[in-house]
Each structure stands twice: as structure tokens, then as C-alpha cells.
Structure 1
């Protein structure tokens, strides 16, 4: 099942990825502690939005032990490179029952947040919330981009 999950991710195929999930899957987002995505349908909608935002997914590392697997991939969101770690906990049939995501770098994470929040609200038919999310995430993303390009390099070890 994990190999099917990887292939679906690299192809950006949300339906094939959702088929790897248990019906009662829980997705723990890197973006918030306020809620989780519960069930195959909620996670599929998130995957559709994520695959629309993230391109060039290529898994490069897999570590497994018993019913737990850690996967790592690189991709991009716009011109920004990102790397994601996925902690998968599998059920007795091999389907993913819990998926915890971790993303680096901070500018890539805020770019993803700026894309996903409004898109998920639009998919639910809530255009006012989509607009609010777009406006409220833009300053954080702008600050992280500015800091990453202009301020953080000043602290580089070779300076």
C-alpha cells in the first residue's frame, strides 16, 4: 500500500492516494493544531488541493518498522522548493490509518498555507472565508519570504 501511496503522490493522483487510506483515517496537519482531517472524504479533498498546489513530488527516502513508515519527498510550490516528511501508521490491512505531515522550509510552509486555506474554503463553497484566509495568510508568507531572502542569510555560518 505504501508503494501505491508514493506513486499516487508522484503522479498527483488524489483518487489513487485516497484509495490507500482507511475509511477512518486521521490526517494531522503541519499547519494547525486547531483541528484534524477525519475520514477518507475529508483527506481526499485536502489531497486534491495539495496536489493542485505542489508539483514535482519525488519521494527519496523511506524508513519502515512494523506498521509504521516514514516517507520523505521533495517538490515545489510555485518557485519555492519544499521537503515533506510523512509519518504513516498503517492498519491491519495495510491502509493508512494516521498520517502526520511535517514540512520545511518555513517559506515553503507559509506558501502552502497561503494556497491551501483559501482553496479548501472555496471547495466548500465559502468564498468569504476563502478571501479572509487569503488576506490573513499573505502577511505571514510575505514576512517569511523577506526574512529568508534578506535577513536569514546574514546569520550564515560562513559570514
Structure 2
């Protein structure tokens, strides 16, 4: 089982975040622009964990070199069933530097968009707090 899959299925936020590169880019299935950076990506993933119920991965597909991975999932958003896939690319250190999600059907994608929209003020606040904490920590190292 892939370490990211294990972390998500265990709802282990620290393990998920540890697998993200600082320069990760998250491409949402419901937002026009990608989200660059570890803090916002981690906060979005925490929001998704709050929104999805009955989440489970049903298939793993990996490249021969292990740097590309696709994890097919099913979940619910409210009472809507959703199918999707997490497409992950790993950098030289084995951290996720590109994270793209696709979902179907359209009605479930719309439900996901609404549910995540309701979470987004909290997501932005969490990302800002993480960024400020990282900045404070790096200032203390100087």
C-alpha cells in the first residue's frame, strides 16, 4: 500500500503533510487556478477529509519509476456519491510536488464545490497560520 494512501485512509494529517514538498502544486477539480505551496495544500486536504464521508481508495496505479501514482477513490459528499482520482507526482526526495484531483459525476463535483466553498475561510486561515508558524521557525533558526 502506498504511504500516501495509508496516511489518508488513517486520517493521519501529520503523515499526509510530511509527504508534501514545500513547492507542491495542488490542482483542484472545482477551482480554476492551481494552489501552490505546502500550507494551502495541507489545509485543503484537511478540508476534504472533513467534507468526504465513506471515503476509500479502490485502486492504485503506479509508474515503473515510482514517481507517478494514481489513486482511484469513492466517497460521499452529503448524500451524493462521488468517484475520483488523485494523481500524484513525487520529487527526487520522494515528496509530492504535483497533486491533481479529478472527480465525477458533475452533480457530485458541484456538491463538492459547494461543500469546500463553505470550508474555504477555515482553509485559508489554517494555511495562513501554518505559513506564519513556518516563517517564525525559520527566523528562529537564523
Query: Higher mean Cα deviation, 9-18 or 47-56?
Result: 9-18
Partner of 1:93: 93
What residue in structure 2 maps to residue 16 of structure 1? 15
Query: Gapped runs of 5+ residues in structure 1?
Result: 126-159
Question: Within 1, Cα distance between the matches of 2:116 and 2:15?
Answer: 20
- Detail structure 1 runs of 4+ shifted over 3 Å in the superposition: 122-125
TM-score when normalising by structure 1? 0.71
* Counterpart contact for 2:87–2:100, Cα < 8 Å: yes
Q: Structure 2: which 5+ runs fail to align?
A: 126-142
- RMSD over aligned Cα, in angstroms? 1.6
Q: What TM-score comes out, normalization by structure 2 length?
A: 0.79
1:63 matched residue in structure 2: 61
- Separation in structure 2 between the aligned mates of residue 29 and residue 109 of structure 1, nearest angstrom: 11
Q: Report deviation, 1:118.
A: 2.3
Contact kept? 2:40, 2:124, Cα under 8 Å: no
Q: How far did residue 12 of structure 1 move?
A: 2.9
Structure number with higher helix proportion: 1
In 1, the alpha carbon distance for the partners of 2:31 and 2:38 equals 19
Once residues 104 and 98 of structure 2 are traced to their aligned partners in structure 1, the CA distance between those partners, rounded to angstroms, is 20
Could you tell me whether the CA contact under 8 Å between 2:25 and 2:99 is conserved in 1? yes
Q: How far, CA to CA, are the matches of 2:14 and 2:117 in structure 1?
A: 20
Quick one: distance in 2 between partners of 1:47 and 1:19? 13
Query: Per chain length, whose mean CA-contact separation is higher, i.e. which structure has more relative contact order (CA < 8 Å, sep 6+)?
Result: 2
Contact 1:14 1:51 in 2 (8 A): no
The reply to whether residue 54 of structure 1 matches residue 77 of structure 2 is no
In structure 1, the residue matched to 2:34 is 36
Compare CA radii of gyration and give the structure with the larger one.
Answer: 1
